Amino acid sequence: MTIRQSFLTAGAFTAVGLASLGIVASVSADSSNSDNLSSKIAQKFNLNQEEVQKVFDEHKGEMHQEHQAKISTKLDDYVSSGKITANQKTLIINKLDEMHKQREDNKESLKNLTQEERKLKMEEKKTELESWAEQNGINIELLKDIKPKGRNGHGPRM
């Protein structure tokens, strides 16, 4: 194994190790922080920054897929128990996908807002979601239950 391959392997294991400790999860929420961390790792271990960033991006994608699978399983349980219909499950999945896309698209613009302005935007989104759930005959508490808890079990991480 060449020295470069050794460093690449060490860097990959370092990135995976950091991810397993939850450090990457908190940092990758903001792509500029993720870029910064991947750049630091690349410099520290003399690696290609693009390859390190690729590891971060792959991990983020894997975590998103796991998250989607957990939500789908929870929704399947709700359908089986009669809490929602199969059609409502599809509506919820589509709404969650839409909300995720909006969050990603608006990430940069939210950075420029004050804490109070961000709080108002979140309240607007909450009211919009409650209205959507009511229009579709979905108990809003079920939606709160399917979203994973964030840090220390207190609500979603954003």
Locate tokens 């994608």: which residue? Answer: 61
**Which pLDDT score is estimated for 34?**
65
Report mean pLDDT in 10-residue bins for the chain, 158 residues.
46 45 40 76 90 91 91 95 96 93 87 91 93 95 76 49
Q: Enumerate residues 6+ apart whose C-beta is below 8 A from 25.
A: 19, 63, 157
CA atoms within 13 Å, Cβ hemisphere of 19 = 22
φ, ψ at 16 (rounded to 5°): -65, -40
pTM above 0.85, yes or no: no
Locate tokens 């059609």: which residue? Answer: 87
**Which pLDDT score is estimated for 152?**
52
